[in-house]
Structure formats: C-alpha cells, structure tokens
Structure 1
Amino acid sequence: MSGKARLNTMKALVICDPIGRLLFCGETRPGSIHDLTQARTAGLVNLLLHAPVGVQVLADAGYQGLGADTADTVITPRPKPRKRQTSLPPSVIAAHAAARKRHSSQRIRVEHVIGHLKNWRILGRYHGRREHLDATIRAIAGLLSDHQHTDRTENTTRPLKAVRATPHSR
C-alpha cells in the first residue's frame, strides 16, 4: 500500500495564549488526519477535562464537537446555516455572521503564530525527510517561544554615548 498520497502534507497542533505567544507546538501528523482525531490522539481532551475553571480554548471549525467532549472548554464557530434554510430572518443571519467574525478575530492570533513559524526559512519550504520534520518544528517552536517570552526592554535602555563630530575630520 502506497502512503505517498497521505503524507504529502504535515500538520502540527499549535496552542498560543491570548496575547499571541506560542505555548505548545507538536503532535506532527500527516495532513490526511482530521483535526479532531489529531487532538484526541494527542491527549488534548483528557488535558482539557482537568483544566481549571475558566480556561477556554478557541478552535477553528475542524474541531467542532470537541466542546462536548471537554465540558465546553473548547469553543468553535457555529456551523453555517444550511442552504435549504433560506427562510431565516435577516436578523438571525446577521447575528450568526457577527458571531463568526467575533470568533475569528479572537482566533487570528493563532494564525499569526503559525505564520511566525513559517517565517523561518527551513519551514517555509521544507525539503527534508518527513521523519525529521517533527524534531525540526519542535526546535524552531522552542526558539520562537524563547524569542517571544524574553523581555528585551533592558537592552534598549542603555544610555547613549555622546559623539563629537568635527567638521572636515577625514
């Protein structure tokens, strides 16, 4: 059985905080695995069942159904109304669109973190072996996380030295 068609793409599970800093990047799987299956095999469901009260995870539409498994810890966008439901009032359609936009505008931080990962040249266009991609992603995620969590304010507050410029000093 050829697995070539199933392994052309790889996906990684990425979690960030509300500010947009990378917290977790791992569980690299073939792209043919559904997002929900990947989260369940990674043990995310068990972890979120024991999460403190008030912890919420914003996920994309690929994780619909995970909220029921995790006692509503995972929040996914509501599904679009079906095409046959044309009799819905415009106010319901507008409220649904506003709720989806609100959810996506909060979740955009995760997409920015994924974009920051792809800014690294090696992940922008990976040509290496698939077996080594997991270690490569984790190494770059560690570097990115360290870069995001390091406070760099003390390096920018150094006093400037006065430089005397003299005319005709060649």
Structure 2
Amino acid sequence: MSERRITGLSPSVADLVAELGPLWQARRDAELLDRPRRRAVGAEAKYKLGFVDRLLATLVHLRHGVTHDVLACWFQVDRSTITRAVAEVRPARRCHRPPGFLRFK
C-alpha cells in the first residue's frame, strides 16, 4: 500500500487503511445479516483476499486500467475473486434524479 506509483496514495494512508479495514468488514457483515439468508451463517465461500488486498486490487485496477486477469495472476487467485473484490470495494454508481425530473422520450 505504501508504493505511491502503484496506488496513487501517500504512505500515510496505510495507517488509515489499517484502521478502516475492520470497520468496513463489520459493515459488510451487517449488510449480509440484514438480508434473508439462503444458507447458514458462515456457509459462504471464504475470502482468499483480505481487506487490504481487495483495496489494493481495486486501486490498481482503477488507476492503471489493469485487467482482472492480470490482477488475478498477481494475487494468485481466480479472476472471479478479483471481480468480486472490485465490485465490493467500489459499489456500482447510481444515477440519482431529482423529484419531478422528466425524461424526454
């Protein structure tokens, strides 16, 4: 995380990432517990990448446009693991329209 040329972040961000990692994971766990479950708690697939690795993969993907296949080779995981990690760290962008907004057809 401390290599600025790779992530675009300053070295002082490493402390912030270490502090935010457990909070992010707790929020993610709470989101999973709030929805109806199809499987028992703990039955889902285990993460092969920790929070810092998921964040690093997302930053490298966004900054350099590295494909998920290349990142999968770099982290020695399957491409689908990288795809899931990027999707979790970078939520989908949504277009919010103000109330009363009319769309031309």
* Both structures adopt the same fold (TM-score exceeding 0.5): no
Superposition TM-score, scaled by structure 1 size: 0.23
Task: Name the structure with the higher strand share.
Answer: 1
Superposition TM-score, scaled by structure 2 size: 0.30
Task: Name the structure with the higher helix share.
Answer: 2
